[in-house]
Amino acid sequence: MLKQVADGVWVHQSEFLQSNSVIVQGRAGVLLIDPGITRGEMADLANDLRELGQPVVAGFSTHPHWDHVLWHPDFGDVPRYATARCAAPIQDLLSQPDWKARVAGVLPPDFAGEIPMELLGLVTGLPADAARLPWDGPKVRIIEHRAHAAGHAALLIEDRGVLVAGDMLSDILMPFLDLKAADPIGDYLAALPLFEGITGDVAAVVPGHGSVGGAEQLRARLKQDRAYVEALRDGAEPNDPRLGPSAPLEWLAGVHQGQVQQLAQRGENAKPA
């Protein structure tokens, strides 16, 4: 089911972790951002687009994690873009003879049998200095950073005031750091001002997982995410409702403790929480 969030912009949400795909109407068809999770959901999305008379003309993956680089044959053989830094690790993975086994090892067991692997990761890296997405539709600004994953990009659909945030600015997930990076905390804190600088241009924010929010929610989530990451940096216990007794996902507390422990082992926070 498609939910319209702005003129010519729709969101389709998966059952898996409230994953959001974003559809943007162009002149000849639509741009499909982070296309979805299961075969059935993606087939349904393709059917919804056919009913709207909107073929897919381009795709974009916000970052290289498996749940953002999937595709379905019904979307067609069209350009699928990512940043250069996003495309590089995917291409390296696909060059390994055991890549399917590696990906299968991180898939959620409840959904693993429904996730299509055939077209995973077939993205084209844009030039490193690309500031806009090359497609025949509304201007889409690329906001690249290193928070959560190298080559992560948010997209600002400028004329519509919609920020597609990738795996940031969620109301259900606290920040997940890229713990393989040289400076995961610094990378995250360096990314947040990129969003703070455009809050006046945003009427709706679409996180990779969670609820679509308005301008006030964007500001609140930025403040909340900054507080969480600074607490990790300072070795303090974050006061974050996404981790409290009323948190929608009880397993997040374990993820949080894992981040605390790994950062403590690296000497990047003062003490385990």
Q: pLDDT tens, 29-43? A: 999 999 999 999 999
- Tokens linked to 13: 């949400």
% of the chain surpassing 70 pLDDT: 98
Report if pTM > 0.85. yes
Q: What are phi and psi of 52, to 5 degrees?
A: -80, -10
Strand duo 20-25 + 162-166: pairing: unpaired
For residue 87, the tally of other CB atoms under 10 A from its CB is: 22
Task: Note the pLDDT tens digit of each residue in 48-93.
Answer: 999 989 999 999 999 999 999 999 999 999 999 999 999 999 999 9
- Cα–Cα nearest to 15, from 44, 31, 46, 36: 36
Q: What are phi and psi of 6, to 5 degrees?
A: -165, 170
- Report the distance separating Cα 207 and Cα 229, nearest Å: 18
- Report the distance separating Cα 72 and Cα 203, nearest Å: 30
| pLDDT-derived band at 272, boundaries 50, 70, 90 | very low
Residues contacting 219, CB < 8 A, separation 6+: 199
- Report the distance separating Cα 7 and Cα 138, nearest Å: 11
Domains of the chain, each with CATH number or no CATH = 1-128 (3.60.15.10), 138-273 (3.60.15.10)
Average model confidence (pLDDT) across the chain: 94
Helices 215-234 and 252-266 cross at an angle (nearest 10°) of: 50
Burial of 117 (0-12, 13-18, 19+ CB in 10 A): middle
Three-state SS at 145: strand
Tallying the residues shown for the chain, one arrives at 273
Helices 215-234 and 184-196 cross at an angle (nearest 10°) of: 160
Task: Note the pLDDT tens digit of each residue in 129-169.
Answer: 899 999 999 999 999 999 999 999 999 999 999 999 999 99
- Report the distance separating Cα 89 and Cα 109, nearest Å: 24
Phi-psi region of 53 (alpha: psi -120 to 50; beta: other; left: phi over 0): left
Model pLDDT, residue 273: 39
